[in-house]
Structures are given as C-alpha cells and as structure tokens.
Structure 1
Amino acid sequence: MPKATDYFLRNRWPWLSASILLTGLLFVSTTLGWYWYTEQRAAAARQLSLDLLWLEQSIAESLQGNKNILANWANDLPASAASKPASTAKALEEFSSRIAGMMKENPALLSIDYLDKDGARLAGFPAYTERPERLPPLSDPLIGNAIRHSRDLDLSVYSQVIEQYAPLWVLVVPVKNEDERTGMATYDLDQLLSQKVPWWFVQRYDLSLLDRDNKQLSPRDGSQDGGNSDTYTDIYKLAFGPMNSGLSLRASPHHRGQSKTLLAWLAVAVGWDYW
C-alpha cells in the first residue's frame, strides 16, 4: 500500500506543482492588472476633466469675444435724438453689414438684432419682413426678462434657454445711450457645440448639454445618457455659461469596459484553475 501511495504522489506532484504555480501567476497577473486598471481609470478621469475644462473655456472665450464686438458696434450707433435721419440710416446700414459678416463666420449665430426701448427691431441680420419661425418672437417672456435684467444691471445678460426646434440662447447687450436701446444675439446651442467641439474631442468622448433639471438639451436625439457607463466616475460634468445659467456640459469616454472585461476573464481563469 505505501508503494502505491508513493507512486501516486510521485506522478501527481508535477501536475500539482504546475497547478499551484499557474494559480499564483494568474493571481499576481490579476492583482497587477487591477492596479493598472484603476490607475488607467484615474488618469483617464483626470484627462477628461482637463479636456472638458479646456472646451468650456474655449467656448466661453468665443462667446465673450462676440459679446465685446457686438457691444462696441452697437455703442457706435448714434442715438436718434442726437442724430440726423440720414446719418442714422447710414449707421444702421453699416451695422447690418458688419453683423452679416460676423454671422457668416459663426454659424451658431442665428440672428443679431438692434432693438429700441419698446423692443421693436431697428436693424439686424437676417433681413426680413416677418420674423422667421426658427427665431424666438421678440415678445417671448424669457427675452423680455433678459432685457429688463440687462437694463437694471447695465450689463450683458444671457436669457434662459428657449426650446424650439433647437435649444436657443439669447444674449442681450445694453446700449449706452439715452434711448435705452438693446443689442440682441440669438445662438443655436446645437450649432454652437458642433462648431466649437474639435474632432479629437468627438473621437474620445460623448458630449451633451444639460439644463438645471439634468434634461438633455443637446444633442436633441437624446441618444446619450448616463446609464451606459460602467460607473458614475466615467462621467464628468462642468458648469457652462454664466453663473446661475443652470447649464452644464457632460462628457463620458467612448469604448468603456474593455479593460474591465480582460480583468474579469483573468479572475475567472484563477477560479477555474483553483477548482
């Protein structure tokens, strides 16, 4: 009997040793893989936050530049009470020509208007007899609130988002003259993101614009949501626009879960070898 036992152990030992060694190697590989995975996740999260911050600042600088230009052009217009009709008409025509060129360079700008104190349009682009349906009516309460707020503060003010065929954002610029005139620019936020988001950002991330209730405003198809991420840490949000705008940009990386799948298979291999 001892001879049979010794024979069994002699023949079994090489396989047992190999199994223990393989289990140890798989365990070490899985542990190292998990540390690598968590470090990669942390690095990706840091890069995502930096990329999203860069994008927000890039869009903000562009909007600020447009706002400064509009304010300068509008303030160059003469007040009707202090100007001759001919010179006023010429100034308005020149203003319309300038903003037409500006809008060609900024597809997200749907219209630029110059309004009197009662909200009537004095000049602007595009030229029209009846206001196009794609533009919010000048009587829209959100535009009225923005105009009143701008006059009270004597500052440029953005309206709350106006939802039509696309999320629209109206910038109101007070004009410093005795007639209380107003400059107004209407942005298509879908177009703004399409125009300003670079190709490399689109390749890396899903990007969406949210309101204060976390409702997705852009893209309008609503195909991007937070439910397709591995965990909450795959999503990064950043406030967008002026204070109290209620808007935020949300980004999440493409192609999540591949590294996690590899680690899962390693863990399964360890368990299988053990049993």
Structure 2
Amino acid sequence: MNLQTSNQRPPVLQPWYWTAPRMAVLMFVLALGTLLWLLHRQEIEEQRATLINDMLWVEQNLDFQLSRNQEQLQQLGQDYFGGELAGSKFDPHARSLLLNSPGMVQLLVLDDGGSLLRGAPGTASDDIGGVALRPEASQQAFRLSNSTGRPAFSPAYPVDGEYFFDLVVPHFRDGRLLGTIVASFSVRKLVAEQVPWWFAERYRLSVTDAGGAVLGSKSNLKAGRETLDYQIPFEPPGHGLLLTANAYSAATSLWRNLLSVVIIGLALAVLGSLWSLRRHIQRRLAAEQALSQEHAFRKAMEDSLFTGLRARDLEGRIIYVNPAFCRMTGFDAAELVNRLPPMPYWAPEEHEATQAAHRRSLAGQAPNEGVELRFQRKDGERFDALIYETPLIDAEGRHTGWMGSVVDITERKRAEDLARQQQEKLQFTARLVTMGEMASTLAHEINQPLSAISSYTTGCLNRLEAGDLPRDELREALGKLASQAQRAGRVIRRIYDFVRRSEPQRAPCEINAIVEDAVGLIEGDARKRGVKIRADLAGGLTPVLADRVMLEQVLLNLMRNGIDAMRTTPLAERQLFIRSDAANEGIEVSVADHGSGIAQEAVARLFEPFFSTKPEGMGMGLNICRSIVESHKGRMWVEANPEGGSVFRFVLPLA
C-alpha cells in the first residue's frame, strides 16, 4: 500500500451535459400533455354528442307524448259532444286518460260559454271564461283556441308553489263552437314520469322559463361540479320554456383511464429516475469536489508542515513520508518509500538503540511522551529527533501500520543545554551572593570556635610552662579544643558544599537533614537579627530523589526572605517556623514568618524574574527557587499566614 498523494484532479462534469436529457424530458412532458389534452377533448366531445343525442331523444319523447295527449283530448271531445260519453260513461274514460297520461293532473269539459260541464278528478265550479277565478295564462289559451279553432298551450303558471300549464282543445261542428276540453299538466310530474331512469342516472333535466327559473327537474345524481350542459326549446308547450340537461360527471372508458394512469405513471417514473440520477450525479460531483478540496488542503498542509510524518506498515516498511520528513533527512520520498530497516537515516553509532525503539514501536509499546533518537542526514550531519508513534487505522477500522510524527529537536536541545548551563551559573552566582550577604555572620560563626581554640591552646601552653598541668585536665582541654575545631570545620564544610561549582547530582536525600544543614548556615544571621528559628520536622519521612545543594539553596533563600520580612516585627514575635511532613503528592516543606505579608496584587507576579518586594532585591531568588523545585517535578506556592506574615510551601515527589 502506497499512501503517496497524487496531483491528478477528478474530472468535472460540464453543465451542458444536462441539456440533452432536460430537453428530452421537456419534449416528453409536452407530448404527454398534448396527448392527454387531445384525449380529454375527444372524450368531452363524445360526451357532448351523447348528451345532445340523449337530449333530442327526451325532447322527441315529450313532444310525442304531448301530441298524443292532444289527439286523445280531441277524440274525447268528439265522443263527449257527439253523445257517446253521456252520463256515467265519461268518468271512467276520463280517469283512464289521466292515469295513462304522464303529468296530466286535471281534465275539464267546458261549454261554448266557458262554463264547466264535467271534470276529473272531481268537479269544479270555476268559470274558465271568468275574469278572476282562473289564472290569466289559462284564460289566454282559452281565448286563443276559441278564436283560432285550434288547440293551444297556455304559459306555465304557479299554483301553491308548483308550476302547471294547460292544453286547451276546442270542438266545432259546422263552424259552431260546441265546447272545450282543458287538460292541466304538472311540470314536475311530467318530467318525473316521462324522463326515463337511465337519463336521470346520467344528467339532471330541468324545465326553465325565459328568466332561468326552474319549474321542474329530475336527477338521480348528487349535486357536484357541472362539466357539460345543453339546452333546447320545450315545444310544445312553448312560451319560452327550455329543457336543460346538466352532466355532473362524465363517464370515461376504463381502458382509457388505465392508459392515462399508465402513461402518467411511466412519466413520473422517468422523471423520478432522472431526478434520482441527477441527485446521484450531484452527490458524486459534490463528493469529488470535496475530495479534491480535501486533497488540496491535505497537500497544502503537508507542504507547509515543519513536522515530519512517516507511515509504516505492520512489517516496518515505509509506505509514506511527507516533504518535511524528506527535508529533515535529506532523502527523497522515492529513496525511502518501500524501504525496510535499517533505514538510511539511522546513525550507525545509535543503531542498537534505534533498532530497539523500532521493535518497541512495532509491538505497540512506544511511550506516549515520545522517544528521542539520534538520526543522520544524507550528508552525514547528525540531528536529534523526537518521535511520536500512533496506530494507523484504515477506513474499515483495521490496524494497518503505524503513523509517526518526527520533530527535529536539535536546536531545542541545544537551547535547553544552554539554558541549563545559564541556570546553573545563575544558581552558583546566587549562592555566592548569599554567602557574600552572610559573610559577616559566617565570619563570626568561624571566629567563635577559632577564639576558643586559641584560648584553650594558650591556657595549655601556660600550664605546661608552669609544670602543674595534670594529665586529666590536659585531656579535657584537648577534647574541648578538638570539639571547637570540629565546629569550625563543619561551618567551613557547609560553606564549601554550598558555594562549590559542580554538576547537579540527584540522589536519595533525607529532607530533614537538608533542613538542619540550611538552619545551621543561617542560624547565626538569625540570632544577629533577633529571629528565633523553630523547626518542626516529622520523623520517618521517605527520602526524596533530589540534588542536596539545590534544595539547601531553596531553603536558605526562603529563610532569608522570612528573616528580612520581620525587620519591623517586634522582637518577641520574630519567629521563623520550618516544618516538614508527608503529603499526598510526596513530602511538603513550609517556611512561615510573622512579617508584614505580601500584597494580593504582588502574589501573582511574585515568582516572575526581576520582580521583588524588597527595595534592594534583584528579583531572582524566588524565581530560581521555583525553577529548582519544578526541575525536581515538584511545585511551589505562597499563602497568607493566619497569624500574620506569609507561608511558602513546596512539595517534592518521593524517590
């Protein structure tokens, strides 16, 4: 597997590629719409033709029925006025005519003056020739038929909310009017009884006047959206009446509907598939564009990184290096990829250490904090590298190798070495300054045992010259002389150990012994300033891994600062407390004074270089102390003393 990146960009789909399928779909939709429109128009025309045919049939049927009724009334008049239906023969004949004549609700026989002779059903006393008892429409038809000698239909007229029209048939003999037969028709019943059921299942048939008012109608359909309508004159009876048919729903062919559904379904399927294809291509283009951007972004990052990246498979073969790693080692990617150990950038003198680190890395035992190795460049120059190894996981979650980041720390180590040397010089200088500031006190400390030695020596010489010095007194005097010499030697040894220049040497140390030595060095200066040193040291403390002289320097600096802080404190309260005790993190040492304390705003800057709360201070003592403690992986801080003053604490880890 080779992870080297390529500069090839994915192809970009041009926008005009979509023109042809879009035009094809547009033409298909237009053709489909045109076809469906034509089919719809054809179906509407067929329905309209059917409606007209059905309407003409109904009109002819009504015309035939009314014409037949007219003939029957003429025959009835001839029979009645000819004497054939005299007496009781008229009523059965009239009832039969009413029953067999759709819409006919009343039958009247009038004489030549318009008076009622017979009537069915029942009789009436209305004078049809009168002025107010019959509707004006009926009177007009009566006068018209008598004047012309021909049957006449009256205009429609309402009675109790229902519309009627009359058929007036006059009868003449030898030019003389014998009488008139009047038949009344209900528009509602005529339509209801004469219009067949199949017509009512398809349409709503209405009889309307010239003003559009509905006089009667019939339909078995629920009211809905009107799709088709057709009107023809209703003659007879005429007088502006119209037959109107409304189609609320058009029955369509099952196969035509299925064809339309199939066509629409196919069109939707084509559109859906095209849209899905478009979405797929768009997602693919977006993914390719994102991949291209990620590729360019990663390439830019690789080219701008100063950290070397190196990928290896599970066998240790290099499968990828970035430009920074190539610049760091001086080798090209082609010289490193697919190489197995030993690598050309391994330093020969460090071969065993590098090979061991390589094996630990392949075994997954590389430390999280990284490993420092010494490599060589192609030109032979050595450099120090800090390497962090992490597992290389592929897209399927499989462990395929190891990814290492390599940092050139040559300059950093050189700077650290220089800083360490400067720090050691600064610490040495600080110790010399401390000794210089304590010179008078230390001279007094040394002068006391020397004076005692001189006194004991002079006394012994005088007694020896006098010849009266017993051996026991001489032995006692020599013992005191030796004790004072040892005292002076201890002071000189402490001074020598404190100020001598040496490499830091860390070893297990008893913290209480270091405290006692530091107290011994500064005790004379404390007495001179009236300060009492109180040591509260816990017994049985575990040793700490530390440099003895450095910790002694920390304690001396803290104790001197505490003594200086109590310059203005009353003599009775000038006490310096030094405590040692076990803590959760290791061993804690505290130095507490009863001075004036530290201002809150100064606490945050107290450990900064060149910051001091003393007018004559250089501001380096506490900074050095904190650096020493932190170099021992400890920590140092300051707190306010509840009894007044300050408490400096530091914690050191156990050895």
* Structure 1 pair 125–54 and aligned structure 2 pair: CA distance change class (3 A): same
Who is 2:50 aligned against? 47
Mapped to 2, the partners of 1:129 and 1:243 lie a distance apart of: 24
Q: Is the 8 A contact 1:229 1:256 kept in 2?
A: no
Who is 2:226 aligned against? 229
2:98 to 89, 100, 103: 103
Kindly provide the CA deviation profile for residues 105-131 of structure 1, in whole angstroms up to 9, marking residues without a partner as x: 235211111011232211121123667
Equivalent residue of 2:182, what SS?
A: strand
Aligned-residue offset at 1:211: 0.5
1:196 to 194, 217, 221: 194
Aligned-residue offset at 1:104: 1.6
Who is 2:66 aligned against? 63
1:209 to 207, 210, 225: 207
Q: Is the 8 A contact 1:157 1:171 kept in 2?
A: yes
Kindly provide the CA deviation profile for residues 155-186 of structure 1, in whole angstroms up to 9, marking residues without a partner as x: 10000001123110100000123344100000
2:236 to 218, 242, 255: 242
Who is 1:134 aligned against? none
Who is 2:138 aligned against? 143
Letter in 1 for 2:49: R
Larger relative contact order (CA 8 Å, sep ≥ 6): 1
> Where does 1:1-275 land on structure 2 (aligned, <5 Å)?
4-6=10-12, 8-9=13-14, 20-78=23-81, 91-128=86-123, 139-164=134-159, 165-177=161-173, 178-219=176-217, 228-230=225-227, 234-242=228-236, 244-255=238-249
Q: Is the 8 A contact 2:155 2:237 kept in 1?
A: no
Aligned-residue offset at 1:216: 1.5
Q: Is the 8 A contact 2:102 2:189 kept in 1?
A: yes
Letter in 2 for 1:145: Q
Q: Is the 8 A contact 1:119 1:138 kept in 2?
A: no
Aligned-residue offset at 1:189: 0.8
Mapped to 1, the partners of 2:238 and 2:97 lie a distance apart of: 28
Letter in 1 for 2:226: S
Letter in 2 for 1:200: W
* Structure 1 pair 224–92 and aligned structure 2 pair: CA distance change class (3 A): farther
Deviates more, 1:156-165 or 1:90-99: 90-99
Equivalent residue of 1:229, what SS?
A: coil
Aligned-residue offset at 1:94: 1.8
Aligned-residue offset at 1:213: 1.6
Deviates more, 1:16-25 or 1:32-41: 16-25
Mapped to 1, the partners of 2:150 and 2:81 lie a distance apart of: 20
* Structure 1 pair 173–58 and aligned structure 2 pair: CA distance change class (3 A): same
Deviates more, 1:23-32 or 1:208-217: 23-32
Gaps of 5+ in 2: 1-6, 127-131, 276-655
Mapped to 2, the partners of 1:179 and 1:203 lie a distance apart of: 47
Mapped to 1, the partners of 2:79 and 2:123 lie a distance apart of: 23
Q: Is the 8 A contact 1:149 1:157 kept in 2?
A: yes
Who is 1:83 aligned against? none
Identity level (%): 22
TM-score (norm 1): 0.76
Kindly provide the CA deviation profile for residues 21-54 of structure 1, in whole angstroms up to 9, marking residues without a partner as x: 4443332211100011111111111111111011
TM-score (norm 2): 0.34
RMSD: 3.8
How many pairs does the alignment contain?
Answer: 248
Letter in 2 for 1:197: V
Aligned-residue offset at 1:255: 1.4
* Structure 1 pair 103–32 and aligned structure 2 pair: CA distance change class (3 A): same
Kindly provide the CA deviation profile for residues 56-96 of structure 1, in whole angstroms up to 9, marking residues without a partner as x: 000110111111011112122237xxxxxxx68x6253222
Letter in 1 for 2:149: D
Kindly provide the CA deviation profile for residues 203-222 of structure 1, in whole angstroms up to 9, marking residues without a partner as x: 111111110122221139xx
* Structure 1 pair 2–106 and aligned structure 2 pair: CA distance change class (3 A): farther
Equivalent residue of 2:164, what SS?
A: strand
Deviates more, 1:242-251 or 1:184-193: 242-251
Mapped to 1, the partners of 2:148 and 2:222 lie a distance apart of: 38
Deviates more, 1:105-114 or 1:146-155: 105-114
Mapped to 2, the partners of 1:243 and 1:217 lie a distance apart of: 13
Going by fraction, where is helix more abundant, 1 or 2? Answer: 1
* Structure 1 pair 235–197 and aligned structure 2 pair: CA distance change class (3 A): same
Mapped to 2, the partners of 1:101 and 1:2 lie a distance apart of: 104
Equivalent residue of 1:100, what SS?
A: helix
Equivalent residue of 1:111, what SS?
A: strand
* Structure 1 pair 118–224 and aligned structure 2 pair: CA distance change class (3 A): farther
Letter in 1 for 2:211: D
Mapped to 1, the partners of 2:8 and 2:172 lie a distance apart of: 107
Aligned-residue offset at 1:102: 1.4
Deviates more, 1:201-210 or 1:93-102: 93-102
